[in-house]
């Protein structure tokens, strides 16, 4: 398990470092909210976006806090999105994939032995779309399918500030 965490942290440092070396910069930051299943939770979080690390590709790291179903989950995700350009519309659909570290804390009833915290590393497959708002920000909605022992499904919406 420790080996997976070290590899993921190394990737977490290499991807943004290479993006910044190529002249990319943080282009937006924002808030996200939604729900997850397995465990069934309310999810709140934040993210930033580093656009143009390659043509039509952005690096979108985020943190998500899940509450409910007798568990608390803190997820650190390193997501890459491929953005499609559509004619005659301001909508921008995207697909993506990512890896993440998920820290779980389970509410164990008093008197029951056992460890109530653990860490899991997993992946995400992402499908989403964003659209500019009249105020100059970007509204987005996305669906994440979890791979591994992490939340299996998330439906999120949010707002990114800045361009």
CATH of the domain at 157: 2.40.160.20
pLDDT in tens, 4-25: 556 556 655 555 555 454 556 7
> pLDDT > 90: what percent of the chain?
72
Q: Which domain holds residue 124?
A: 2-161
Over the Cα atoms of the chain, what is R_g? 17
> In angstroms, how far is CA 32 from the centroid of its own chain?
9
In this prediction, residues 47-51 reach a mean pLDDT of: 93
pLDDT in tens, 101-124: 999 999 887 777 766 899 999 999
Total tally of structural domains belonging to the chain: 1
What is the structure's pLDDT at 108?
83
Report in angstroms the alpha-carbon separations of 15 from 18, 58, 95, 104: 5, 11, 18, 26
């Amino acid at each position: 398990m420790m080996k997976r965490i070290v590899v993921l942290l190394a990737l977490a440092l290499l991807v943004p470092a290479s993006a910044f070396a190529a002249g990319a910069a943080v282009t937006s930051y924002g808030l996200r909210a939604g729900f997850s299943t397995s465990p069934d939770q309310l999810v709140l979080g934040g993210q930033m976006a580093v656009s143009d690390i390659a043509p039509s590709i952005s690096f979108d790291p985020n943190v998500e806090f899940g509450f409910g179903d007798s568990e608390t989950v803190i997820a650190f995700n390193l997501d890459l999105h491929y953005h499609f350009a559509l004619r005659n519309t301001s909508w921008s659909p995207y697909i993506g994939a990512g890896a993440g570290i998920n820290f779980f804390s389970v509410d164990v009833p008093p008197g029951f032995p056992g460890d109530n915290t653990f860490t899991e590393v997993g992946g995400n497959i992402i499908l989403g779309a964003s659209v500019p708002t009249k105020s100059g920000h970007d509204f987005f909605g996305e669906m994440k399918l979890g791979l591994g022992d992490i939340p299996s499904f998330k439906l999120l919406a949010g707002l990114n500030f800045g361009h």
